[in-house]
């Protein structure tokens, strides 16, 4: 998709037109510039304390896609999509605190007092709290996963989020460091056939105002 066409896609269009696509044009190669643009948009996602609790393993190599196909229980979109992205959650995102906030301190955007308070809060939240670290890793990596899918749609590509894969085997196959845990696998490419329409509950079924 050209940049001009991309600019005509509104956020609302991307959100309403995004559906999980499982059949892709296996002959299509996504230009690296467009893939990087999608990834850069995804990376603007929010995160707790701006710690950016994620790592993206972007797989475009066909042999690697074929390698993880059985790990994803034979879901053919893994092999046929232009790219498959393993979204990882960072169990040690507290280590990002200094790289995130030191430039703000050095630039005069925050005071030393604020810097110390922020780093103290983060250290306290992660100290002897593996469950909290895991919750934060999954929650925050989910933000970038959703934003990635919307960014892809804005560029004219389709995606499919997959939770159905062997987490232990994919860690082994892709040499994922123990710092990270698999969150979701996302196929990305050109749809070969349109997605099936899917209904959504109305607001009367999903919204509770003020209290149950």
- pLDDT digits 0-9 by tens, 144-181: 999 999 999 999 999 999 999 999 999 999 999 999 99
CB 47 within 8 A of CB 181: no
What CATH number does the domain located at 3-193 have? 3.40.109.10
Distance between CA atoms of residues 99 and 75, nearest Å: 38
What average pLDDT does the structure give for the chain? 94
Question: Mind listing the pLDDT tens digit for each residue in 104-153?
Answer: 999 999 999 999 999 999 999 999 999 999 999 999 999 999 999 999 99
Mean pLDDT, residues 89-114 taken together? 97
Domain ranges across the chain: 3-193
**pLDDT at position 76, please?**
97
pLDDT at 3 over 60: no
Question: Mind listing the pLDDT tens digit for each residue in 62-88?
Answer: 999 999 999 999 999 999 999 999 999
**pLDDT at position 117, please?**
97
Q: Enumerate the H helices of 56-129 as residue ranges.
A: 62-68, 77-80, 97-106, 112-126
**pLDDT at position 197, please?**
79
What are φ and ψ of residue 166, in 5° steps?
-80, 110
pLDDT at 1 over 50: no
């Amino acid at each position: 998709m050209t940049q001009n066409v991309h600019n005509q896609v509104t956020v609302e269009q991307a959100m309403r037109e995004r559906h999980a696509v499982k059949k892709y044009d296996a002959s299509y190669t996504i230009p690296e510039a467009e893939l990087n643009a999608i990834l850069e948009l995804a990376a603007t996602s929010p995160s707790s304390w701006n710690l950016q609790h994620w790592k993206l393993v972007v797989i475009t190599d066909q042999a690697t896609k074929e390698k993880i196909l059985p790990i994803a229980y034979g879901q053919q979109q893994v092999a046929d999509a232009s790219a498959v992205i393993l979204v990882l959650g960072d169990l040690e995102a507290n280590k990002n605190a200094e790289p995130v906030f030191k430039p703000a301190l050095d630039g005069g955007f925050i005071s030393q007092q604020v810097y110390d308070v922020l780093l103290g809060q983060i250290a306290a939240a992660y100290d002897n709290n593996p469950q909290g670290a895991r919750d934060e890793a999954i929650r925050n990596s989910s933000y970038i996963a959703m934003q990635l899918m919307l960014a892809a749609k804005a560029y004219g590509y389709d995606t499919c989020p997959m939770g159905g894969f062997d987490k232990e085997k994919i860690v082994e196959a892709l040499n994922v460091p123990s710092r990270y845990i698999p969150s979701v696998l996302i196929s990305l490419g050109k749809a070969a056939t349109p997605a099936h329409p899917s209904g959504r509950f109305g607001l009367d079924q999903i919204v509770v105002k003020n209290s149950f």
